[in-house]
Amino acid sequence: MLFQMLDTAKGSSRITVLNELCYQFAFKNPERAIKYGSESLKLAMQNNDSLLLAAAYNDLSIPYFLTGDFTRMLELNRKALQIRKSIGDSMLIAASYSKMGNALQEMGKLDSTLYYYNEALKIYQQKGNKQYQSQLLNNISNIYERLGDYEGAIELHDQVASIALELRDSTTYLQVMGNHANTLDKLERYAEARRLYFELIPLTLKLGFNEYLGNIYLGLGTNYKSTNDLQSALLWYKKAFDLYRQLNSITAMSVTATNIGKTYTVLMNSDSASIFLNIGLEYGLLTRSFTNIFNAYNGLKDLENARSNYQKALEYSELAKIYEDSLFTERVADKISEFRIAYQTEKKEKELAENKLELESRKRAIIYIIFSGAGIVFFMTFLYFRKHQKHQLEIKQALLDEKQKGLGAVIYAQEEERKRLAKELHDGIAQTLGMLKFAFSGFRDLFNPSSHEYTEYTTILNQLEEANQEIRNVSHQMMPRALEELGLVAALSDLAEKTGKYSDFEIEYEVFGIDQDERFSQSIEISLYRIAQELINNVLKHSKATKASVSLRKTKTFLVLTCEDNGTGNTIIDNQGIGLMNIRSRAENINGSFHIESSGGIGTSATIRIPL
């Protein structure tokens, strides 16, 4: 229905439809959602309607949140908030405050998160909107839990559950009771927590809330691990991971994969532990979640210690320390901000109370000195840790540089060898076969066209032609002329066209935000072309797909290659073969990331992001 509307919609109507498509696709195909949202934002900027522009910023922030780009989400909601404040719509202002709080929470800035949540809560309380109040109180309870105030979190859970029952709001009730079970785990009340988790599963399935169901599975995994039932823990962790993978919830996949890896480490299954911990690390780096990166490196450190590989364990320990310091630095910065706000509040109170006793003024002066002194201490601490972090990052970068140099040397050698072989095939064997065919064709008049010998002669002549063409095709695949002469956009188009032409296979190719003749660095063009070749080859050989799509998209910060098919699907763990390892290596060599999602009966989606 929406696609039919999109075909004819113009102006404000088109912006509205695109915003709705962005929202709907955010939860199942974030890349596609970003495409719709970006088009909507571009049109909204040209349209003289502030409400639509704010809505475009707001809706586009959702897929960025789900893919873990919290900085971009925060930026978009700040712009939406600025517009909504100028309009004066308090409910929309509260919605922007709430989303900014969500982004800041994922970034680990808990004090700032509480500030924005409380600003939104004030508005909802003034408006008497109990539903939104309950949602925010639930979010605030999560912050209390992260700060270690479990009893305070449970009090807020009771308030939220009471409001949810009053409103018959199954969604909020389900969410808060899931959080309640998690908090009971933290208080080591495992039996109560487990009973509550199992009570919530039927309601979650009935409502179809798969994201919450994944959270319940994850909670059960942690619950069983806490009671040392590791096989049951693995069972529930893997159910959560499979569900998050279907939802493309990268942040949750990072958390779950790391937990699975740590559990395998305890079970002394080092190979499986390594696979899952590295998946957790990759997704943590992709979403820039310091907490998830820190936990993954810590897990890898414990794994290498268990393997008695102490040098490697030390390296992972150093890397974990970097991100632990990064988290601490952010918290120090938040504290400085908190003291600044406290000082400004104190200053206003002083101006309003000039008629108070001199003793009161002296008290304020003392408070000011205390706050200022504390602020200076925190600021000096911040500077120290920033310097320490810089040193640790230099260590990390040196390690990564060495790894990348090795990858780069191997890939460069491979490409040089491909060029040499392609030239020899084209200029040597292909030319020889061409001359042989030309000479052999001169014997045509020696045979009677109706004779058996003539039939054999023409068969051999055709085989020579096929061999010559095959050699030229192999040469072209090893070093395609379109890539060298016209660039990546044209070369991928040529690859897609020839794949469809020479196979019973439908392949679509789309380009977004890139001119036809735009060029990138040689390393990026060659690497992405080889990755596309490998992905398409994998689809043809293993997926049993009837069609696929390849898209190349450029944003302000990334070049994104996506390959999707409608085949049988497969799992990440079962596909750690040479082909996918080669893809991952090529992506890492140009500072990119490789992410693959697959599910039986749905197909496979692979995404490569290269920073520009």
pLDDT digits (tens, 9 = 90+) for 166-188: 988 888 888 888 889 989 998 99
**Please, are residues 479 and 417 in contact by the beta-carbon 8 Å criterion?**
no
Tokens of 434: 């061409």
111 pLDDT more than 80: yes
405 pLDDT more than 50: no
Q: How far is it, in rounded angstroms, from Cα 161 to Cα 277?
A: 36
Nearest to 134 by CA among 95, 103, 106, 165: 165
Q: How far is it, in rounded angstroms, from Cα 599 to Cα 570?
A: 6
Residues 6+ apart with CB under 8 A from 236: 217, 218, 220, 221, 224
Q: How far is it, in rounded angstroms, from Cα 218 to Cα 204?
A: 14
Of 21-30, 448-457, 485-494, least confident by mean pLDDT is 448-457
**Please, are residues 196 and 184 in contact by the beta-carbon 8 Å criterion?**
yes
Sorted by where each begins, the domain ranges of the chain are 481-612
Single-letter amino acid code for the residue at 425:
L
The counts of H helices and E strands in the chain are: 24, 5
Could you tell me how far CA 464 lies from the centroid of its own chain?
50
Considering the chain, what percentage of its residues have pLDDT values greater than 90?
A: 24
Q: What is the DSSP letter of 429?
A: I
Q: How far is it, in rounded angstroms, from Cα 58 to Cα 55?
A: 5
Spell out the alpha helix ranges (H) of 27-89: 30-46, 50-66, 70-87
Tokens of 245: 């993978």
544 pLDDT more than 90: no
Q: Taking residues 42-69, what's their average pLDDT?
A: 89
Single-letter amino acid code for the residue at 15:
I
**Please, are residues 294 and 320 in contact by the beta-carbon 8 Å criterion?**
yes
Of 16-30, 205-219, 354-368, 508-522, least confident by mean pLDDT is 354-368
pLDDT value at position 225? 93
pLDDT band at 378 (very low <50, low <70, confident <90, very high): very low
Of 149-158, 348-357, 574-583, least confident by mean pLDDT is 348-357
Tokens of 272: 């499986």
Single-letter amino acid code for the residue at 140:
I
Tokens of 473: 């095709």
pLDDT value at position 554? 85
**More confident site: 109 or 79:** 79
Calculate the average pLDDT of the chain. Answer: 78
pLDDT band at 470 (very low <50, low <70, confident <90, very high): low
Spell out the alpha helix ranges (H) of 308-357: 310-352
Mode of pairing for the β-strands spanning 547-554 and 506-512? parallel
**Integer distance in angstroms from the first to the last C-alpha of the chain?**
37
Nearest-Å Rg of the Cα atoms of the chain is 30
pLDDT value at position 321? 80
Q: What is the residue whose two structure tokens read 């095709």?
A: 473
Q: Taking residues 453-478, what's their average pLDDT?
A: 69
Q: How far is it, in rounded angstroms, from Cα 553 to Cα 563?
A: 12
pLDDT value at position 433? 62
Q: What are phi and psi of 115, to 5 degrees?
A: -60, -50
Residues 6+ apart with CB under 8 A from 515: 489
**Please, are residues 437 and 461 in contact by the beta-carbon 8 Å criterion?**
yes
Q: How far is it, in rounded angstroms, from Cα 608 to Cα 533?
A: 13
Domain 481-612 has CATH 3.30.565.10: yes
pLDDT value at position 602? 62
Q: What is the residue whose two structure tokens read 């064997």?
A: 429
Q: How far is it, in rounded angstroms, from Cα 70 to Cα 76?
A: 10
pLDDT value at position 245? 87
Report for 77-81, 428-432, 554-558: range of highest mean pLDDT = 77-81
